[in-house]
């Protein structure tokens, strides 16, 4: 009886892990879309001399916008930069995100918008602090 009680106490006293639950479909889609957007922006910053990078479809992703599925499909289908390794890696991530959104997590998606222009020219996010705080 005593070893079981001691084991139970140790289990309850064990510090919780940094990630208490496995990622959900939604959190995986959200993190992968942010990763893709970040990779695309860094690709444009690092490889501006590559002519093909300028002609790639833009990738400002919002998984709550219905047009994102067409945007992902267009990016993967674009024939530009087929020789650039970073673009190939980015297209693999985009393909993975499209598959997750369109197959595995389809029921978890809630589209709040269908404004395709918002994916072309995103509105910059600004933070305004109340009462003139700095």
Domain ranges of the chain: 24-120
Alpha carbons 65 and 51: distance in angstroms, whole number: 29
Alpha carbons 130 and 134: distance in angstroms, whole number: 9
Token pair belonging to 6: 């001691």
Tens-binned pLDDT, residue by residue, of the chain (134 aa) = 566 655 555 555 555 555 555 678 888 889 999 999 999 888 888 866 677 787 777 888 888 888 899 889 988 888 777 778 888 899 999 999 999 988 888 887 788 888 888 877 766 554 444 555 55
Q: What is the pTM of this model?
A: 0.69
CA 2 to chain centre: 49
Cβ atoms of residues 110 and 59 within 8 Å: no
Q: Which residue has the tokens 């289990």?
A: 11
Alpha carbons 80 and 51: distance in angstroms, whole number: 9
Q: Which residues contact 103 (CB under 8 A, 6 or more apart)?
A: none
């Amino acid at each position: 009886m005593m070893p079981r009680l001691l084991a139970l106490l140790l289990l309850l006293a064990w510090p919780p892990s940094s990630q208490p639950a496995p990622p959900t479909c939604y959190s995986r889609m959200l993190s992968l879309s942010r990763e893709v957007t970040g990779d695309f922006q860094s690709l444009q910053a690092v490889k501006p001399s590559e002519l093909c990078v300028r002609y790639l479809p833009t990738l400002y992703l919002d998984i709550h916008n219905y047009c994102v599925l067409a945007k992902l499909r267009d990016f993967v289908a674009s024939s530009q930069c087929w020789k650039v390794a970073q673009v190939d890696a980015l297209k693999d991530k985009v393909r993975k995100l499209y598959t997750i959104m369109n197959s595995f997590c389809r029921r978890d998606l809630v589209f709040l918008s269908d404004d395709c222009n918002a994916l072309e020219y995103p509105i910059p996010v600004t933070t305004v602090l109340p009462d003139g705080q700095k």
